Structure 1
């Protein structure tokens, strides 16, 4: 098993003359194993279970009635909504369907109608991330909004980003409590921009989602408990999604404009895999195999584990650092990275 610490990865440069040939070799190995083939049975079962949990949650909302135990249901429903989001992620990458139209229809049903997030906005953002992961200027996931992801960004930070940057390692997980609201806000805001190709359709689906969402909760619970339910649900949804996506790249190699990396090394060196088991694979929706997901975005989730073994072996042959660690260790590395990147702000730089 090839493993290297993030500090080693930061110092790694592409091998001269690597070009695209290394990725072509790896692709042939992956294709020969049939790992890019669609898995309709898997996705039928997965989508059925997610839908059953989604509908069952709202049934339980009325079955439980006027009780504070509803907050436990709110926590459980945050996990269900996150699973809907992970399924929409697979649809966007055409892991479920090979054709664009059914992927978009499924994606909008899952993201807009069931979860309350704009499929078009998120897909535009996520596509740009995949093209340039951890690139300081091109990856929207490391844009210096409230959190700074590099010391260069920290030196340029101002306003709220500079205030938060001083103590961002301590504030990172608390800020995730607001991520659910942030997704909803950005989804509606994006309807006025070019990222969403069908703004009327997506806007209508979002309105239907939130009308049904708020309406059902308010119909089942008195106002105080309804507000508490919504707060717990949205807060834990943000934490779940943040904890699933953050280990993928945060604290790994940050790419600057002057760096020249071929596709294979750009994806491998900026990504972190998280070791786990069948339970963790399900909880994270396969995102714990982030290296393989970035190399082969359309690969179905159940094929990623086998692809990881092949990719590790290939990277070892080529001398390419391939990093994987445990889940808790990944969070420690993220917080260490955030504390380090905030140093120029704390020192007045």
Structure 2
């Protein structure tokens, strides 16, 4: 039988200083008093630690066992929930789970970062104490050993994002399950990972991406420039095919999924269900002309309903916005109060083009 291949980087952990374990200061003090100085020393018999309570002794035993396996190059596989429970005492793990809604897969993104006041209420402590508990949790989990153990989560999240074109909305993530998360809500896990190591997973305009924020800024600027110059809604496939290399994220092959996700999160953009893109103040009227060409003279209420059926939910507009667009467009005539139509010749032309 072939021996398992040691995990890359594990050997470097052996000589890491004790704080790299993520253990709290009170446990580190006991270890140092017992002659321990490095992670490798955790593989030797540990000090008795009579001053530690039962939870601290259990935490030390868990982390020491993992450290011994890790420095030997064969760390046990962990899912996200197991990882939290291994490296944090129960109180801190509960604070993290409450803060990021890890036990509520159906929650919206805004509920996956609970207010400190609400976290404190559920833990029976003040808002300030909740903040301190979360600070302690992040302080422990940002050490070398916990981050080493978390690396598979970042690889799994990055692979999932890249497979989707580099970006996923919270709604798209909520419907996905992965063994790596150990039953935790995917949106909460992604939000936590984005904050644990900023830049590895990016939260940009309320969607998650594998690309850096600066890269997404360049994509957004290029998208806005192209839409602002267009007189009609542009097919996403055409936009993606003609995309400049200078604004293309490294490693991106098909840019259309990223553009689609970005469009749906820009408040002034239009993303249609037939995969076209535009800006609301510039391209709402052309879309309304298409509707009038197909339906003929129509009341405002019917036009609003038809418009909102043709766009994604994030791009829907109310009657006031669409009434303004109708009245500003020189090709659309108001026939009665809140009734609109196209000139007969233009209506025929649009129908033939469609």
TM-score between the two structures when normalised by the length of structure 2? 0.22
Considering Cα pairs closer than 8 Å and 6+ residues apart, tell me whether 1 or 2 has the greater RCO. 1
Q: Which structure dedicates a bigger proportion of its chain to helix?
A: 1
Q: Which structure dedicates a bigger proportion of its chain to strand?
A: 2
TM-score between the two structures when normalised by the length of structure 1? 0.23
Which of the pair has more CA radius of gyration?
2
